[in-house]
Amino acid sequence: MANHSNSRHTIILLQNSPNRATRTFMDYDSIGQAMDGICGLYERKLKDINPSLRNLRYDITDLYNFIDGLADMSALVYEHSMSAYLPYDRQWIKQKAFHHLKRLANGGR
């Protein structure tokens, strides 16, 4: 089985704009997959803004600005020992995204 701490069901709650109708969620089998999903959201936004761009390049500051630019974003992560979901804020997501991208940049998963 995968690393127990990483194989935790994760739900990302987000709201794109102040309009409450833009609230949505995405769920993933692990924290790492959730971070991939957040990066994917940002990459789709970059492609929408720059459709002719072939290679997307961005750094962690760009990703942080994207996350901070959302009206709201938080995570619910399943904690096996408690059989419950624990809430995490935008700062936690940014920290996890940083470590995730760093791992990918170093060629590991």
> CATH number, domain at 77?
3.30.2260.10
**pTM for this prediction:** 0.86
Q: What pLDDT was estimated at residue 106?
A: 85
Report the chain's mean pLDDT, rounded to a whole number: 90
d(CA 71, CA 68): 8
Classify 82 as helix, strand or coil: coil
Task: Determine, yes or no, domain membership for 57.
Answer: yes
pLDDT digits (tens, 9 = 90+) for 29-51: 999 999 999 999 999 999 998 88
Show the domain range for 32. Answer: 10-105
Task: Determine, yes or no, domain membership for 3.
Answer: no
Number of folded domains in the chain?
1
Task: Determine, yes or no, domain membership for 5.
Answer: no
Q: What pLDDT was estimated at residue 55?
A: 83
